[in-house]
Amino acid sequence: MLKLYGFPVSNYYNVVKAALLEKGMAFEEVQTQASGAPEYLAISPMGKVPCLETPQGAFSESQVMLDYLEEAQPEPRLYPADAFARAKVRELLRVLELYLELPARRLYPEAFFGGSVSEQTKAEVRPALEKGVAALGRLARFSPYIAGDSYTAADIAAAIHLPLVRDVGKRIYGEELLAPLPGLRDYLQRIRERPALQRVFADYKASLESFMQSRR
């Protein structure tokens, strides 16, 4: 039995969880947050979530987990069979994570958790996000999926990360920073109807209140 360590408010945890559900793989959820405890560092060297424990051992990093799941159970596919098309999906994943989610994360304390961030940070993040949105616009198709005709791991990441980026733009800058991406709204509504994503978002909402209370 696979064990997925993390918590349902973590977007990277939810990306891996959605992939497991899409593939119909049996797994156990082990609720934990990032930790420096020696026993957790033994399975997640940076103490991060998510972490995936397999019969052979454990490892961290969500991208590595997506690759592992695809190799461990190829069907249903979350990466194209063609090598170039598969590389393009991985390219989309990296753009979504490195140039959109990670810059936006710097603003999460104020956007979502009642904290504050400096005006300098806000000034630094905005052009980074605009550049990331432009890059995604050059790669994404949204017709019907982000990489073309097939639902892939990049769609899972987009469904989970992009709403956070959108909300950061609205709450921090008062603008829709994702507006240059035509068709995005309909695309997100469409793929959120998938049962795996519905389960992930339902669990997220059920856990959000207690998570917020734990941070007060």
The whole-number average pLDDT for the span 6-31 is 98
pLDDT of residue 208: 87
The three-state secondary structure class of 59 is strand
Judged against a pLDDT cut of 80, whether residue 93 lies above it is answered with yes
- Exposure string of 80-119, with b = 16+ CB inside 10 Å and e = fewer, is beeeeebebbbebbebbbebbbebbbbbbebbbeeeebee
Say what percent of the chain tops pLDDT 90. 95
pLDDT of residue 216: 62
Judged against a pLDDT cut of 70, whether residue 160 lies above it is answered with yes
Chain segment 30-69, per-residue pLDDT in tens: 999 999 999 999 999 999 999 999 999 999 999 999 999 9
CA distances from 107 to 101, 167, 208 (A): 10, 10, 18
Is the preceding omega at residue 74 within 30 degrees of 0, hence cis?
no
Judged against a pLDDT cut of 80, whether residue 214 lies above it is answered with no
CA distance 178 to 146: 14
Cα dihedral: 42, 46, 52, 55 (round 10): -30
Cβ neighbours of residue 125 closer than 8 Å, sequence gap 6 or more: 103, 104, 106, 107, 172
